[in-house]
Chain A
Amino acid sequence: MAEPVLDTYIAEENLPYEFCPGCSHGKILGALSDSLKQQNLDPSEVVIVTDIGCVGLSDKYFVTHAFHGLHGRAITYASGIKMQNPDLKVVVLIGDGGCGIGGHHLLNAARMNTDVNVLVFNNFNFGMTGGQHSVTTPFDSITPTTSFGSTDAPMDIAGTAKVNGGGFIARATAFDKDLPEMITKAMIHDGFALIDIWELCTAYYVVRNDFGRKEMMGYMDSMKMESGILQKTERPSFQTSYKHIQEQASQQKTMSGLVLETNFTSDLDRPVRIVLAGSAGQKVVSAGNLLASAATLSGLWTSRRADFPITIQTGFSVAEIVISPEPVLYSGIVKPDVAALIATEGKAKIARLTKAMEASDTIYFADGLGDVDSPANQLPLEFPESAKKDVRKNISALTAGFLTKELNLFPFEALKEAVRQIQKPKITEINLGVLAHFE
């Protein structure tokens, strides 16, 4: 066997511990040092991430790397460190308080199976701030914040991590002779590892509740929270899984913008603001993209906004397009030059905009959507006779074709080219068929 790297990982120049007499924190720190010795790790291979509370004083007692962050968040920092450098061994030292305020992180780290090792210093109260009750405080306990006895059900920290899929879950006490071995087992496991270590806060909880070592063991039995290894799974850690994701992803092309060459021309001399207003499922946004892309292909500048409810498969769907011979500075539309109404939901949604239109502006409306409360000129959307059968399914593409013919902003060929360049082959075929009605 190789020479041990170190006899102890405790920074002895910083001893003695500043913990209270009888406090179990020092015992757990000693067990961690013994475990690191068992694993024969170089101190630079280990990062100790401490939470807040008395346990948060621990990092200065180690000769390893250390990170001391905010209350309850230690597991998130640890996970980030391990993601970036999986060769480091990352150990979180956290109390029952941290597991309460950071409970969300605890259960999600277990689900994620992120390869960090969490040692919970569980002493049933907030030791640093005066012994207030925590998430693990037993029923009927007297603390400064439960003067009449605690009424909340104590959280089973190990059980929570277990049911949420944590890879290695155990319960122990600070008095266990084999605690170093247990820590070693946790640390060599590839995945989330947590040991819920029960211990005594002699400053507060013990004295207020007559809760010594014997009472703690009795409480463990009465709650049927058994000790030992509670769960050990073979599920790969997130870090291991992510390596496979990177391998798969590396086969794919990286992102690039859509490049549209300007092969057409336009003699448009002022910005035109167009609003298409329909309903979910009518492919309104897609038609807006076609108009904007056709304009871009014709050397014009465009902006395109889509507006729809967060429940995207229901309600209105609106596309706002600005087409301009100059770069579009103001991309909003408070008064469209042209509005096309193709569903009642859209008509209602843009009522404020159509009302603001002027007599020189035009509203085109589908069957039954006329009679708009607006001074704008109002005309029916007139599709070619042959297109009637396509109206139900493809009204947006028909409207794009109609507007292109009617407004003459850019060549009709540019619209067809936009269909070819930006749409999937199957949709391209359908839409070119739809546009053929205009020729």
Chain B
Amino acid sequence: MDGAAAIARGALDAGCNYYAGYPITPASGILTHMLRELPKVGGIGLQGEDEISSMGHCIGAATAGATVFTASSGPGLSLYSENIGLAIMMEVPLVIAISQRLGPSTGAATASAQGDIQFMRWCNSGGYPVIVLSPTNIPESYHLIKRAFKLAKRFRSPVFIATDKETVMTTESVSEAEMINAPDWPEIPDEPVGKPLDPYQINGSIHHYTGSSHNEEGHITKDPDIIAEFNERLKNKIESRVDEISLVNADLQDGAGTLIISYGVSARSMEAAVNHLRDQGEKVSALTVYSLWPIPEKKIKNCLKGIKRIIIPEMNHGQYRHEIERLTNDEIELVGVNKVDTFLITPEEIMAAYHG
């Protein structure tokens, strides 16, 4: 199977009943799966006239009680972004998969990349936090999107799946057990942080949802105290719960002086490189980051004992390396393995960086 099928299946199994999207390589597979599958189970799947409309449909449907999902690539995220700010402001649960391709602009539509991870984090005016999860393979795509729906509901927030062309469009054999059995990840609590979203309902209480600064009842306000409290809460509801959201896989080796940190498809080349290096008798540690945002600072810092050098392979110009830099001191050397030439990072390139 491919990652598109895994993501669609995961969304359906997570209870998604509403999808609106617009075709774009390399995310169209998700769109076609969702539009074909949702009406079979009584859900709704539609193609909007553009990404702006698709996101508008999703947010509207969410306020009427739908569990919504959309998927695109970098150019589509450009058009999603104004409405992502609205979703943050209205506190609408929203899952968005971004299948990254090489930019900027139209770029190389059929080439894998990881150049949108900062874009996902900062795509709203005001810079409010969102949650970004990144799978390295097909089974993780399935399990992480299910987790994304739980996080979106709990935090009433946009949650991204940061994937890429390679993971979404390459067909691979996968073990049935890995697809069926959930990984050993900490559970996300079911109860929402703060008030649950109360959708529009006939005979229900009256609701106002607004993108303007508002009070608890959803009425527009210009009161500086109320605005400040609201905005602080939007930030803190996620940033005060980083530990709960943090998800990494630390493969540490005693005595290792080098730690390799990666995510997404590049983490697979990291794993291959680490296997080779250890076969050669080298001592090396590896950290796969699944929860890119908010940054799992504690979990990263926990891996730094005895580390003199960190190698960070990623298919961009060093977008996560700069985040790691903030967490380290001058005694740790940071080395990027960066590619933007349409090819994946190879295990050999990571090994070459290791051997310096």
Measured CB to CB, the residues of A under 8 A from B are 42-45, 47, 49, 59-60, 63-70, 73, 75-85, 87-88, 104-105, 108, 242, 245-246, 248-250, 252-255, 257-260, 289, 292, 295-296, 300-305, 307, 310, 328-332, 334
**Given contact pairs A255-B9, A302-B173, A66 touches B33 in the complex (Cβ within 8 A):** no
Which candidate, B51-59, B251-259, B300-308, is the interface stretch facing chain A?
B51-59
Q: Mark B126-137, 1 if CB is under 8 A from A, else 0.
A: 000000000000
Which of B195-203, B238-246, B322-330 makes up part of the contact surface? B195-203
4 new A-B pairs (CB below 8 Å) besides A69-B211, A246-B42, A301-B172? A77-B57, A108-B48, A248-B39, A304-B170
Q: Are A81 and B60 in contact, with the CB atoms below 8 A?
A: yes
B272 contacts across to A, CB distance below 8 A: 329-330
7 smallest CB-CB distances across A and B, nearest first, come from A80-B60, A76-B56, A77-B60, A249-B39, A80-B57, A84-B64, A108-B49
Residue of A with least CB distance to B56: A76
* Among A44, A64, A68, A329, contact of B212 (Cβ-Cβ < 8 Å): A68
Query: A65 contacts which of B44, B86, B208 (Cβ < 8 Å)?
Result: B208
Q: Are A328's CB and B201's CB within 8 A? A: no
Query: Do residues B40 and A250 form an inter-chain contact, with CB atoms below 8 A?
Result: yes
Asked if B16 CB lies within 8 Å of chain A CBs, one says no
Contact residues of A: prevailing secondary structure: mixed
> Does the CB pair B39–A44 fall under 8 Å?
no
A284 vs B39: C-alpha distance when bound (angstroms): 33
With A73-B52, A80-B64, A88-B64 as contacts: A44 and B203 at CB distance below 8 Å: yes
Q: List 13 A-B contacts (CB under 8 A).
A: A44-B201, A66-B208, A73-B83, A77-B57, A78-B60, A81-B200, A84-B64, A242-B39, A246-B42, A255-B8, A255-B9, A257-B5, A334-B343
The answer for the CA separation of A76 and B79 in the assembled complex, in Å, is 14
B231 close to A (CB within 8 Å) = no
Closest chain B residue, CB of each to CB of A65:
B200
**Chain A residues closer than 8 Å to B347, beta-carbon distance:** 329-330
Q: Is the CB of B46 within 8 A of A254?
A: no
CB B356 to nearest CB in A, in angstroms, measures 21
Q: Are B66 and A329 in contact (CB under 8 A)?
A: no
**Contact flags (1/0) for B280-295 with A, using CB distance below 8 Å?**
0000000000000000
- Would you call B207 and A307 a contact (CB within 8 A)? no
Knowing A85-B200, A252-B40, A305-B170, say if A334 contacts B269 (CB, 8 Å). no
Q: Chain A residues with Cβ under 8 A from B346's Cβ?
A: 330, 332, 334
In angstroms, Cα B210 to Cα A250, docked, is 36
CB atoms of A76 and B39 under 8 A apart: no
B31 at the A interface (CB under 8 A): no
Q: Which residues of A contact B8 (CB under 8 A)?
A: 255
B140 at interface by CB-CB < 8 Å: no
Partner of A331, one of B33, B59, B172: B172
With an 8 A cutoff between CB atoms, is B206 at the interface?
A: yes
- Bound state CA distance, A82 and B66, in angstroms? 11
Given the complex, which residues of A lie within 8 Å of B110, measured CB to CB? 307
A76 to B20, CA, bound (A): 11
Q: Chain B contacts of A83 at CB under 8 A?
A: 18, 44, 46, 57, 60-61, 66
A69 and B200 contact, Cβ closer than 8 Å, known pairs A60-B219, A252-B40: no
Chain B interfacial residues counted at CB < 8 A = 74
- Asked whether any CB of chain A lies closer than 8 Å to the CB of B268, the reply is yes
Q: Find out whether the CB atom of B203 lies under 8 angstroms from the CB atom of A257.
A: no
The residues of B that contact A259 with a CB separation of less than 8 Å are: 176
B268: A residues at CB distance < 8 A? 329-331
Interface: B236 (CB within 8 A): no
B1 within 8 A of A: yes
Q: Contact: A77 with B271, CB < 8 Å?
A: no
Residues of B within 8 A of A289 (CB): 171
Give the complex CA separation of A104 and B22 in angstroms. Answer: 14
A88–B109 CA distance with the chains assembled, in angstroms: 41
Beta-carbon contact of A69 and B172 below 8 Å: no
Shortest CB–CB separation between residue A330 and chain B, in angstroms?
A: 5
Nearest-CB residue, chain A, relative to B57 = A80
Q: Is B220 close to A, CB under 8 A?
A: yes
Given the contacts A44-B203, A47-B200, A330-B272, A242 and B44 also touching, CB distance less than 8 Å: yes
Inter-subunit contact B57/A329 (CB<8 Å): no
CA A43 to CA B272, docked complex, whole Å: 61
Q: Is the CB of B49 within 8 A of A66?
A: no
Cα separation A127 to B213 with both chains bound (whole Å): 21
List residues of chain B with CB within 8 A of the CB of A250.
Answer: 39-42
Say how far A238's CB is from chain B's closest CB, in angstroms.
8
Which B residues are in CB contact (< 8 Å) with A59? Answer: 208, 210
How near does chain B come to A162, taking the closest CB pair, in angstroms? 18
Task: Judge whether A44 and B204 touch: CB under 8 Å.
Answer: yes
CA gap between A310 and B37 in the complex, in Å? 25
Give B44 Cβ to nearest chain A Cβ, in Å.
Answer: 5
Q: Which residues of A contact B202 (CB under 8 A)?
A: 42, 44-45, 85, 87-88
B227 in contact (CB, < 8 A) = no
B173's partner among A42, A77, A85, A260 (CB-CB below 8 A) is A260
| In contact, B206 and A330 (Cβ under 8 angstroms) | no
Complex contacts, B248 vs chain A, CB 8 Å: none
Known: A45-B202, A108-B49, A330-B268. A84 touches B61 (CB 8 A): yes
Known: A68-B210, A246-B39. A84 touches B65 (CB 8 A): yes
Whether A68 and B208, one on each chain, are in contact in the complex, defined by CB atoms closer than 8 angstroms, is yes
Measured in the bound complex, the distance between the Cα atoms of B88 and A69 in whole Å is: 12
A76 touches B40 (CB 8 A): no
Q: Which residues of B sit under 8 angstroms from A82, Cβ to Cβ? A: 60, 64
Interchain nearest-CB distance for B35 vs A (Å): 10
User: CA–CA, A334 to B349, complex, Å?
Assistant: 12
Q: Is the CB of A66 within 8 A of B209?
A: yes
B297 near A: Cβ within 8 Å?
no
Q: Are B63 and A303 in contact (CB under 8 A)?
A: no
- Kindly list chain B residues whose C-beta atoms are within 8 Å of the C-beta of A254: 12, 37, 40-41
Which chain A residue lies CB-closest to B52? A73
Q: Determine if B169 is an interface residue (Cβ-Cβ < 8 Å).
A: yes
**CB distance A303 to B172 under 8 Å?**
yes
